[in-house]
Amino acid sequence: MKLKIGYLFIGLLLAACTANAQQGPPSGQQPPQPPSREARLKQVSNRLEKDLGLKPDQKQKVVDAYGKFFDGIEKLRGGQPGPPPPPPPPPGKREDIEKLAKARDESIKKTLTDAQFKKYQEIEKTMRPGGPGRPGGPPTPPPAG
């Protein structure tokens, strides 16, 4: 009899835990939103200014290049913010994103010295959102076979 009551208690406890885990955020709270364009620009400019020692005119040109890049990304997403971190883009859009990034980097390269641009390239890799096999993303799946 005690055993049946114990199993019943454990079953009810598991059911309560499962039901509680499936609830959304408490009412009145919204899920976290990705940072705004301005917040991302501020974060990028502060990081690059600190790490590269940018002059004011260099900083403004870098901010302009990233602003165009972020605007292009928003157009590709159709104005819908992606979840943090965003999922990898569909194969057809990867080329569009690479073109935007290349244009941004060309604009920044004109602004920075060679040493600053080399350091920028290293820093920029750490600022990318995580993806499979990259920091902040899920691990790369093992090869099939």
**pTM of the entire predicted model:** 0.51
Segment 79-131, tens digit of pLDDT = 665 555 566 666 667 788 888 999 999 999 999 999 999 999 988 888 876 55
| Domain residue ranges of the chain, discontinuous segments joined by + | 37-127
Nearest partner of 49 among 131, 122, 139, 116, judged by Cα? 116
pLDDT (0 to 100) of residue 2: 80
Residues 2-30: tens digit of each pLDDT:
888 877 778 777 777 676 666 665 666 66
Residue 36 has what pLDDT?
Answer: 84
Closest C-alpha among 88, 82, 87 to residue 32: 82
> Are 64 and 107 in contact, with CB atoms under 8 Å apart?
yes
Which tokens in the block code for residue 136?
A: 């902040």
